[in-house]
Amino acid sequence: MSLAAVPRSAFPARAAEAVAACATDLSKVYGQGETRVVALDSVSVEFARARFTAIMGPSGSGKSTLMHCMAGLDSVTGGSARIGDVELAQLNDKQLTRLRRDRVGFVFQAFNLLPTLTALENITLPMDIAGRRLDRERLGRVVETVGLASRLGHRPAQLSGGQQQRVAVARALAARPEIIFADEPTGNLDSRSGAEVLGFLRQSVRAMNQTVVMVTHDPVAAGYADRVVFLADGRIVDELYEPTADAVLDRMRRFEAAGRTS
C-alpha cells in the first residue's frame, strides 16, 4: 500500500472500539492573504476509548494544532471536532472552558503546575475549580500509581522535573476525565524520568480504562502507545497499530525520505 493510495478520511478506530473523540474534515487556517498558513487540511481521525493514541509528525506538521483543536483550546476553521457526542465548534468560550474542566485532562510539556500550590493541591485543582467532590479512592489510587505519596505536601519548586510531570499526570487522571491530552509530556525530561511518565500514562489506559491522546516527536515515546497517527503538512498520512519504537522510527524515515524527494 503506497502512501498516496491511502484515502484521507480512512483513519477510523477499529471496528470493535468505541470512539472517545473524532475529527471530521477538520481544517485550521492561520492568517490571511500572503501570511495564510494551513495548519490542518481536512483531517479526519477517530480516537478510540480506553486506548493510548500518539500523534506524531515532524515540527510544523500540525500535530500540536490538531491536539489544541481536539481539546477545545483552539477554535477550528472548518469541519468538526467532537469529544464524545459534543461538537466543539458549536460551543462558546464559557462552554468550552466547562468542557475542558469537566471532561478533559491535560499534561503540557512544561509549566503544568501552579508554583503557589502544593503537589496535592495541584492534583485536585480541576475538582476545586469545578467545585466537585473529591473522589478519595480514585485520588489515592492515582497518587499511588504515580508514586507521589510522600511528596504531596511539597511545592513544585521542591520537586524534580520528572516528579513535576508525574504530578501533572496525576492531576489529569484524578478528575477522571473522558480524555487526556498530553503535549510532549516528556520533552523536558531525561530518558529515565520520561520512561516513568510514559509508563504511568500507559498504565492509566490499561488499569483505569483512561483514554489518552499524546502529541510527540519522539519515536520512543510513541512506542508506548496502542496506535500512532502520523501527520505531515497538516494531513494525516499514515497510522500504525501496536507500534514499537523501531517501527515508528522506520515510518518516520520513510516520510522524511518521501518529503525530500517530492
The CB-of-181 to other proteins minimum distance in angstroms stands at: 9
Nearer to other proteins, 53 or 109 (CB): 109
Choose which of 19, 38, 86, 117 interacts with other proteins (CB under 8 A).
117
User: 109 and 183 in contact (C-beta within 8 Å)?
Assistant: yes
Using CB under 8 A as the binding rule, whether residue 102 contacts other proteins is answered as yes
The CB-of-244 to other proteins minimum distance in angstroms stands at: 31
Backbone angles phi, psi at 10, to 5 degrees: -100, 45
Backbone angles phi, psi at 243, to 5 degrees: -75, 155
Report 78-97 residues binding other proteins (CB under 8 A): 93-94, 97
Choose which of 50, 58, 101, 178 interacts with other proteins (CB under 8 A).
101
Residue 124: C-alpha distances to residues 96, 135, 143 (Å) = 20, 10, 11
Q: Which amino acid is it at 102? A: D
Q: What span, in angstroms and rounded, lies between the C-alpha atoms of 4 and 146?
A: 42
Nearer to other proteins, 156 or 223 (CB): 156
Choose which of 49, 51, 82, 100 interacts with other proteins (CB under 8 A).
100
Q: Residue 176's CB: how many other CB atoms inside 10 A?
A: 18
Contact track, other proteins, 11-50, x by CB under 8 A: ----------------------------------------
Choose which of 49, 51, 63, 68 interacts with other proteins (CB under 8 A).
68
Report 174-203 residues binding other proteins (CB under 8 A): 188
User: 99 and 181 in contact (C-beta within 8 Å)?
Assistant: no
In this chain, which stretch among 15-23, 53-61, 128-136, 141-149 interacts with other proteins, using CB under 8 A?
128-136
Q: Residue 182's CB: how many other CB atoms inside 10 A?
A: 28
Helices (H), 131-242: 136-146, 161-174, 191-208, 219-222
